Amino acid sequence: MSTNTTVVAEKGMVKQKSRSEFARKFHRQKPILILLIPGILWYIIFKYTPMLGALAAFTDYGTKAKISFIGFENFIQLFTSPGFWGAFRNTLIISFCNLLFYFPLPIILALLMNELIFVRLKRLVQFIVYIPHFFSWVVVGAIFAMLLSPSEGIVNQIIMSLGGDPIYFMADQNWFRSVLVGSYMWRDVGYGTIIYIATISTIDVQLYDAATVDGAGYWQKMLYVTLPSLKSTIATVLLLTVARVLLIFEQVLVMYVPSVYSVSEVLTTYSFTEGLLNGNIGYATAVSLFTAVVSAILVIGCNKISKKFLGEGII
Amino acid sequence: MLFGRRLSALLLCSVMSVSLLAGCQNDKKTSEDGAEERVKLTFCMSQTGWGGEAVDPELMKEVEKYIEEKTNTDLEIIAPPQSSYNDKLNVLLTSGEIPDIFVVRKAMDNIQVMASRGYTMPMDDLIKNAPEITSLVDPEYLDYLKVNGSLQAVPMYVPMSKIIWLRKDFMDQYGVNLSETPTTQEFYNEMKKLAGKGITPFTFPKFLDNLPFFFNPFGAYYGIGVDKDGKYYDGFNTPEAREALSYVAKLYKDKIWDQEFLTNENATIREKLFSGKAASTIDYFNRYIYFVNESEKVNATTEFVPIYELKGPNGQGGNLNEAIQDVICISSKSKHPEKAMEVIKYYFYSQEGVKLRCLGVEDKHYTIENGYIKPMEKALNSGYKCDVNQFLLYYPKFTDYGFKWDESTEKLLPRQMELVEEANKHLGPKYLIPGGKSDLYDKNLSAYKKKIDEISSKIILGTITVDEGYEEYEAFWKSIKGDQMLEQLNN
Amino acid sequence: MSRESSGTLQYTSVGRKVFNIANALFLFLVSMAVLIPLLIVIVTSLSPDSVVAREGYVLIPQGITFENYTKIFKSGYMSAFRNSIIVTISSTLVSMVLTVVMGYAMAQKDLIGKKFLIRFVVATMVLDAGIIPFYLVVKNLGMIDSYLSLIIPTAISTYNLILMKNYMSSIPTSLIEAARIDGCSELGILFRIVIPVSIPIIAAVTLFYTVSHWNNYLHVVMFINDSSKYTLQVLLRQLIFQSESAISSASALNNFKMAVMVMTMIPVLILYPFIQRYFISGIMLGSIKE
DSSP chain A: -HHHHHHHHHHHHHGGGGS-HHHHHHHHHHHHHHHHHHHHHHHIIIIIHHHGGGGGGGB-TTTSSS--B-TTHHHHHHHH-HHHHHHHHHHHHHHHHIIIIITHHHHHHHHHHHH-S-HHHHHHHHHHHHGGGGS-HHHHHHHHHHHT-TTT-HHHHHHHHTTPPP--GGG-TTTHHHHHHHHHHHHHHHHHHHHHHHHHTTS-HHHHHHHHHTT--HHHHIIIIIHHHHHHHHHHHHHHHHHHHTT--HHHHHH--GGGHHHH--HHHHIIIIIGGGT-HHHHHHHHHHHHHHHHHHHHHHHHHHHHHHSS---
Q: Is the pLDDT of residue A169 over 50?
A: yes
Among A58, A80, A110, the domain boundary falls at A58
Residues of B within 8 A of C142 (CB-CB) are: 22
Q: Is the pLDDT of residue B335 over 80?
A: yes
Q: What CATH number corresponds to the domain at position C95?
A: 1.10.3720.10
Q: How far is CA C196 from CA C37, C101, C183, C273, C282, in A?
A: 39, 14, 19, 20, 10
Q: Which of B91, B97, B385 to mutate to test the interface with C (most CBs of C within 10 A)?
A: B91
The strand pair at B73-78 and B101-104 is best described as: unpaired
If asked whether residues C183 and C116 sit together in one domain, one would say yes
If asked whether residues C87 and C48 sit together in one domain, one would say no
End-to-end CA distance of chain B: give it in Å, rounded.
37
If asked whether residues C79 and C52 sit together in one domain, one would say no
If asked whether residues A166 and A36 sit together in one domain, one would say no
Nearest CA distance, C253 vs chain B (angstrom): 8
Select B40-158+325-359's CATH number: 3.40.50.1000, 3.90.930.12, 3.40.190.10, 3.30.10.20.
3.40.190.10
Q: Is the pLDDT of residue B2 over 60?
A: no
Distance of CA C213 to the CA centre of its chain: 7
C253 vs B47, B271, B277: nearest CB = B271
Task: Check if A81 contacts B (Cβ < 8 Å).
Answer: yes
What whole-number distance in Å separates Cα of residue C194 and Cα of residue C169? 10
Domains identified in chain C, total number: 2
- In this structure, are residues B256 and B192 in contact, taking their beta carbons and an 8 Å threshold? yes
Confidence of residue C192 (pLDDT cuts 50, 70, 90): confident
If asked whether residues A54 and A77 sit together in one domain, one would say no
- Grouping H, G, I as helix, E, B as strand and the rest as coil, residue B139 is helix
Q: Helices C199-215 and C78-106, interaxial angle, to 10°?
A: 140
The strand pair at B304-307 and B160-167 is best described as: antiparallel
- CA nearest A112 in C: which residue? C23
If asked whether residues A145 and A183 sit together in one domain, one would say yes
Q: Is the pLDDT of residue B22 over 90?
A: no
If asked whether residues C123 and C135 sit together in one domain, one would say yes
Q: Is residue A286 part of a domain?
A: yes
Maximum distance among all Cα pairs of chain B, rounded to whole angstroms: 79
Lowest mean pLDDT among B224-228, B334-338, C186-190, C219-223: C186-190
Domain span at residue A138 reads 72-310
Residues of B within 8 A of C65 (CB-CB) are: none
Q: Is residue A10 part of a domain?
A: no
If asked whether residues C133 and C30 sit together in one domain, one would say no
Task: Check if B7 contacts A (Cβ < 8 Å).
Answer: no
- Grouping H, G, I as helix, E, B as strand and the rest as coil, residue C279 is helix
If asked whether residues A127 and A43 sit together in one domain, one would say no
If asked whether residues C22 and C148 sit together in one domain, one would say no
- CA nearest C264 in A: which residue? A134
**A residues 159..188 contacting B (CB < 8 A):** 168, 170-173
If asked whether residues A33 and A151 sit together in one domain, one would say no
Domain span at residue C244 reads 66-289
Task: Give me the mean pLDDT over the B82-97 stretch.
Answer: 89
pLDDT for the residue B109: 81
What whole-number distance in Å separates Cα of residue B226 and Cα of residue B220? 11
- Grouping H, G, I as helix, E, B as strand and the rest as coil, residue C34 is helix
Q: Is residue A63 part of a domain?
A: no
By residue count, chain C amounts to 290
Say whether B267 and C247 touch across the interface (CB within 8 A): no
Q: Which residue has the higher pLDDT, C27 or C290?
A: C27
If asked whether residues A185 and A83 sit together in one domain, one would say yes
- ipTM > 0.85, yes or no: yes
Confidence of residue A153 (pLDDT cuts 50, 70, 90): confident
If asked whether residues C39 and C91 sit together in one domain, one would say no
Say whether A112 and C26 touch across the interface (CB within 8 A): yes
Read off the pLDDT of residues B450-463 as tens digits, 9 standing for 90 and up.
Answer: 999 999 999 999 99
Domain B160-322+429-490 in CATH 3.40.190.10? The answer is: yes
Q: Is residue A97 part of a domain?
A: yes
If asked whether residues C129 and C187 sit together in one domain, one would say yes
pLDDT for the residue C9: 45
What whole-number distance in Å separates Cα of residue B46 and Cα of residue B87? 11
Per residue in B472-488, is it b (16+ CB within 10 Å) or e — as a string? bbeebbeebebeebbeb
If asked whether residues A44 and A181 sit together in one domain, one would say no
Partners of chain B (3+ Cβ pairs below 8 A): A, C
The strand pair at B39-44 and B73-78 is best described as: parallel
Say whether A81 and B86 touch across the interface (CB within 8 A): no
If asked whether residues C217 and C77 sit together in one domain, one would say yes
Among C20, C45, C65, the domain boundary falls at C65
If asked whether residues A107 and A30 sit together in one domain, one would say no
Q: Which residue has the higher pLDDT, B16 or B316?
A: B316
Say whether A36 and C106 touch across the interface (CB within 8 A): yes
Say whether A262 and B94 touch across the interface (CB within 8 A): no
Maximum distance among all Cα pairs of chain A, rounded to whole angstroms: 86
Task: Give me the mean pLDDT over the B278-297 stretch.
Answer: 94
Q: Is residue A9 part of a domain?
A: no
Task: Check if A157 contacts B (Cβ < 8 Å).
Answer: no
Which ranges in chain B are annotated with CATH 3.40.190.10?
40-158+325-359, 160-322+429-490
Looking at the DSSP bridge assignments, the partners of residue A69 are A59
Domains identified in chain A, total number: 2
Residues of C within 8 A of B301 (CB-CB) are: none
Q: Is the pLDDT of residue C289 over 60?
A: no
